A and B are shown apart, each in its own frame.
Chain A
């Protein structure tokens, strides 16, 4: 600590004859400090790497047994040796895609409203509200979705299926458009409803990143657009959106990453099924994380290995999505940090 604090007597000035050593020698305190900080870094690193490695190691047993058919099998019966993630992975991706395609316009509109339209007094309130939305636990969204939102959305599901049922993903088997009172159960617990609820959970993440990016639009370019006679929307389209493109894409993908991993809200809403189902309005869906939550307790050693393999696939997917998102955000002109 007191390595280079040799105080010269100011009266007796003596010119230095030899070259002064400029390299700092760390004192004992600093060495302990470095050791501690490095230790903390290493512990965190090893925890994180351990999770990844352990998942991969445990998953190999199951993966070795099934090989490539792990990706193409829809069933999940590890004890019979027939299992694969085709259905659950499709379900996960479908739910996440519904969530993101609903959440993205809303979060972009909200972010633009906060940065460009809202009066400053309202602005800080809106920012707090969006942050609060991110902090509400997922089980609360799940409860709300199951007991309140589902009842509201079924009418919309029915309307979409009766008018756009000819588009394959909106088709619902068992729905009769001539008899609207028939039964609404064919529309409940669907990918669509789960996706809408997850959309609410990913919206704040996307919104906060987009807001960050839009607030960094250079004032000069903003004013330049106004000086050239642009309306507010003209300015947004010509300046803010191109400037924030990286943030918009990155934020959207971060939301996608979160949507892929969501467990409890999806588990509450969907009724699990094990076939590849592209009809998003139809009852029943599945996701990797809800599969794990449903099956972990009744699984044998091998079943657990199979679950690990499914989890590994999910993790690989969220990793790729998140890294792509960070790359987009970092490469964009704005370069806003990717704080979730």
Chain B
């Protein structure tokens, strides 16, 4: 009995099957005549029995679990979370403290922009019919004035140009002492060109009410028509008659006056 403590130390290993065979045989022998050790062994056996009861419960519960489904569910859930985390990581720079001022600025800009747009739309909607129409009208008016001034300036320029060329032609006529010096072949083309231009100028002079200019241009036109009807072999008498007509009607003087007025924009 003195060695009981040694055997008691081995009881757990004995029951759990972790005691070597020679030691197990010694313990078997000892247990045959040691009530104390036998009683202790019975207690430990009861612990094993109670454990077996819990083990049965564990087994029952485990049988209720669908293991194949569980493993698939667990894997799917974890993979979903993983993919979600990857997406969040892609946007994580927005939450990084270094980017927070930029993020805040962007958000503030968007909010203010949206607010400003809302206010503009709201106000323009309430006053749209009147204000918008007025602005359109003023735009058209300005544009029409501008266009009119442009037409006027162009017409003046073209008229002055016409008068200049007519004046040169008439000066040639006046400076020629004899008809031979005044070649109708050359002059005829210029006259025809000026007559064509006059037809184009007529519309502008009428539309823009350049009355003085129109009057002198009409006289020049008549003169040119007369000239264009003359034969190439101009007689001295006819030649002189034309010169007298120009001088008598002071056509060159009138041309100068009208030109000056046109250039000053008074016509």
B is bound to A: no
